[in-house]
Chain A
Amino acid sequence: MTMIFGYPLPALLSQLLIGLINGSFYAMLSLGLAVIFGMLRVINFAHGAQYMLGAFFAWFLLRYFEVGYWPSLILAPLGVALISVVLEKVFLSRVYKLDHLYGLLLTFGLALIIEGMFRHWYGTSGQPYSIPSVFTGALNLGFMILPIYRGWVIVASLVICLATWLLIEKTQFGAYLRAATENPTLVQSFGVNVPRLLTLTYALGAGLAALAGVLAAPIYQVSPLMGQNIIIVVFAVVVIGGMGSILGAVVTGYMLGLVEGLTKVFYPEASSTVIFVIMVVVLLLRPAGLFGKE
């Protein structure tokens, strides 16, 4: 058996794969956070709740309407985006003029409400969501066994991140968005409906979180706690990457997932804290974050 640094290669690769999967979710979630923050200047604490909602949406559709994985991949993000439009209109739009901290506190409250309700209804145990039949089984790549669904998640997340980046950097909508980030008053005076742009951005970010939730449903169980378990790690990812650039958020997400996977091989005790340790190091050496500008 091939050994690397005294560890069997297959074990190393399988942990790297798990790391890459986790990294895919970190990337998608920190991407959504960065998009929302860039435009609204609000740290969306409800991001984890929206990720959880996405997974539950898919689970509901399957359980009660027998709607499968593929339609869910579109319906769940749309549903969560719609809910988020309401949240933005009713609550968030009132705090833009205040200190950013109020946005954080408001979304924290919303997250508590949403997660608390689901916890009340479904307890803390997870609901299983089966892997769609196309993706059952595994590929033998020769050097390792790759469960097909996991491969799909990595590909899908890469496509999603790329598409979001293209949307923001290369389209008309993205141009408006970037302009409004720089100078909302001026953009408004050109006749662009900036408040609607804010709503759409929030819905986009929340939809991305929900999409990640649907992708996560077959891997992790659908549980009311799935969002709060991941959101604080994603915050650390965002601090490490800096929220200045979208690409930065994505790259940092994948990278940290891989580092976490490697830590599980070499020093498993530290696997839950390694991302925070990296955050500390980055804060000491480059406080603005790896991709931040200051």
Chain B
Amino acid sequence: MATQTAATAVAPAPEAKGTSTRTIALAIVGLLILLAAPFVIYPVFVMKVLCFALFAAAFNLLLGYVGLLSFGHAAFFGGAAYICAYSIKAWNFPPEIAILAGTLFAAALGAVIGYLAIRRQGIYFAMITLALSQMFFFVCLQAPFTGGEDGIQGVPRGKLLGFIDLGDSLAMYYFVAAVFLFGFLAIWRIVNSPFGNILKAIRENEQRAISLGYRVDHYKLGAFVISAALTGLAGAVKAIVFQLASLTDVGWQMSGEVILMTLLGGIGTLVGPVAGAALVVSLENYLATSSFPVPVVIGTIFVACVLMFRRGIVGEINAFLDRKK
């Protein structure tokens, strides 16, 4: 093969068999940070990071483990946010049901877009997902229930399961942290399952996977729907945290942003997208107060990542640790 595939070019070190002490130590440290964060950092900021981290991790399931670059994930993120926000505001859904509705919607949308997009490969796949999500953007722009340019504002946070008041920012935080943890562990489980191994086989050599008798399209579509659903979960939760669903969440810039988070953190690594999301969100928060144009900075990081470190931050660290062994 003359060209490397996206994911093998950034080939993540094969993950250590079993759970090494390093992984366990990292998991404990991560969990402690997750629990302690709202007492140190402004909780809304951490919640934003967690929503985007789940978004990026779900996106990475597709790019990093199946080798499919979707340029349309904003449709799932923003679509779920709209459904969640609307069902709370118009139908008084409790938050957990509204989030479920948003997630299911994203999964259904993922099934439709995925079914169409997997008919082509490589760059065409990226262009098709981009075009379809742009179509969804126009639908959202025109549909009466999305509130057009204003979006759906002032969504009440409500009471989780009827008794946990999400208006309290600490309760909201731990709920978001739990959702994030659920999503992250789900992805971890999928990646390390037989299903995940077949996905990686497709990434490495699709023709060979076909010749081994795997119905590649079914696996691709399955991964696409799971990725879309988890993306929707992140979007729905974000709508409750910020009490807002707007066109920003469905625009192509959002799709670009999640690609950047994943690329910066490390494609095909589990922790990479989380680190990337934390970095990008912090950077945007910092830039928001300055007059410096955000797209220029984001574009520059894109170019730097593609040219200089395609493995991303976590990928580079992994590679460094492996060399030391």
Using a CB–CB cutoff of 8 Å, the interface residues on chain A facing chain B are 43, 91, 94-95, 97-102, 104-106, 108-117, 119-120, 232-233, 235-236, 238-239, 269, 272-273, 276-277, 279-280, 283-284, 287
Contact = CB atoms under 8 A, between A and B. Distances in A.
Nearest to B112: A280
Given A105-B259, A120-B293, A112 B298 contact: yes
A282 B98 CA distance: 35
Instruction: List the 5 closest A-B pairs by CB distance, nearest first.
Output: A109-B302, A112-B299, A116-B295, A113-B299, A276-B135
Contacts of B9: 98-99, 102
A84 B138 CA distance: 32
A279 B119 CA distance: 12
B100 interface: no
Interface string B116-127: 100110111011
A112 B295 contact: yes
A283 B116 contact: yes
A105 B122 CA distance: 13
- From DSSP, what is the main secondary structure of chain B's interface residues? helix
Nearest to A33: B127
Given A113-B295, A279-B132, 9 more contacts: A43-B126, A100-B3, A100-B123, A109-B306, A112-B298, A116-B293, A279-B128, A283-B116, A284-B119
B174 interface: no
B293 A117 contact: yes
Interface string B129-149: 011101100110110000000
Interface of B: 3-6, 9, 69, 116, 119-120, 122-124, 126-128, 130-132, 134-135, 138-139, 141-142, 252, 256, 259, 263, 293-296, 298-303, 305-307, 310
Given A273-B139, A276-B132, A101 B122 contact: yes
Contact of A236 (B6, B131, B300): B131
A99 B293 contact: no
Contact of A269 (B142, B256, B298, B302): B142
A104 B126 CA distance: 9
A238 to B, nearest CB: 7
19 contacts: A91-B307, A98-B3, A99-B6, A102-B310, A105-B302, A109-B300, A112-B256, A116-B295, A117-B293, A117-B296, A232-B130, A238-B127, A239-B120, A272-B138, A273-B138, A276-B134, A276-B138, A277-B135, A283-B119
Contacts of B132: 276, 279-280
A120 B296 contact: yes
B131 A232 contact: yes
B211 to A, nearest CB: 19
B3 A94 contact: no
Contacts of B116: 280, 283-284
Given A98-B3, A116-B295, A110 B124 contact: no
B295 A119 contact: yes
Nearest to A294: B120
B296 A97 contact: no
With most chain B CB atoms within 10 A of its CB, the pick from A43, A114, A273 is A273
Contacts of B123: 43, 100-101, 104
A105 B296 contact: no
A119 B252 CA distance: 17
B267 to A, nearest CB: 10
Contacts of B252: 232
Contacts of B4: 98-99
With most chain B CB atoms within 10 A of its CB, the pick from A105, A114, A239 is A105
Contacts of B305: 105
A43 B120 CA distance: 15
Contacts of B69: 101, 104
B122 A106 contact: no
B293 A235 contact: no
A226 B218 CA distance: 39
Contacts of B126: 43, 101, 104
B273 to A, nearest CB: 15
With most chain B CB atoms within 10 A of its CB, the pick from A236, A276, A277 is A276
A99 B256 contact: no
A93 B142 CA distance: 41
A272 B142 CA distance: 10
Nearest to A271: B138
Nearest to A232: B134
B3 A97 contact: yes
B302 A43 contact: no
